[in-house]
Amino acid sequence: MNQRRSFLKSSAVLASVLGAPAVVKAKSVPAAVAAAPGERILRLYNTHTGETTRSVFWAEGQFIPDALQDINKLLRDHRNNKVAEIDPQLLLLLDRVSAKFGDHPTIHVISGYRSPETNAKLHENTSGVAKHSLHMDGKAIDVRIPGQDLAKLHKAAMAAKGGGVGYYPDSQFVHMDVGRVRYW
């Protein structure tokens, strides 16, 4: 396990030295590799920017800071490019729910972090956007998994009991957050 962790760290260092971006356009992401026992992996695709990442964000009992930074960047507010810290508990919830759909499926992200400015505009112009949305705290995400039934994703998210779950079939996404447990 220590060799794998060393490999992960040295790969991240090598990528940064070479100037290779950790978050890349979807076409250049390598094929998925199985996770080692005890690792947690997320494969995310931002539907607004076209960026994707495959991140081992947890290994050997701890979060990996570089992976969290990559995820924070991918989940930024695409309207103004503001990046915020995403709650690691949300990532664990996403990992737990997505595991019900196979070995690290690619999760399409419709909305991750929202800056207060963006949220205020959406709240004014769109029904269903909370004035004090947990998206502004990095504690909420709107997702779908291509090829998977949205109703099943909704049920899996509710079964996880990790926080709030909203079902938006007309917009083709499920909202998940790490606030109090509630459903709509």
**Do the Cβ atoms of 133 and 114 come closer than 8 Å?**
yes
* Domain around 176: 2-183
The two tokens of residue 122 are 């959406």
Q: What is the pLDDT of residues 54-66, one digit of tens each?
A: 999 999 999 999 9
Whether the per-residue pLDDT at 99 is higher than 60: the answer is yes
Under the banding of pLDDT at 50, 70 and 90, the label for residue 75 is: very high
Q: What is the CATH number of the domain that holds 168?
A: 3.30.1380.10
Average pLDDT over residues 70-83: 98
In the block, residue with structure tokens 């909704």: 154
What domain count does the chain have? 1
Report d(CA 179, CA 52) in Å as an integer: 26
pLDDT of residue 160: 98
Concatenate the DSSP letters of all residues of 35-72 into one string: PPTT-EEEEEEETTT-EEEEEEEEETTEE-HHHHHHHH
pLDDT tens readout for residues 19-50 = 343 444 333 334 444 566 789 999 999 999 99
**In angstroms, how far is CA 68 from the centroid of its own chain?**
10
The CA-based diameter of the chain, rounded to the nearest angstrom, is 52
Q: If you search the block for the tokens 């995400």, which residue do you land on?
A: 141
For 102-139, what is each residue's pLDDT tens digit? Answer: 989 999 999 999 999 999 999 999 877 899 999 999 99
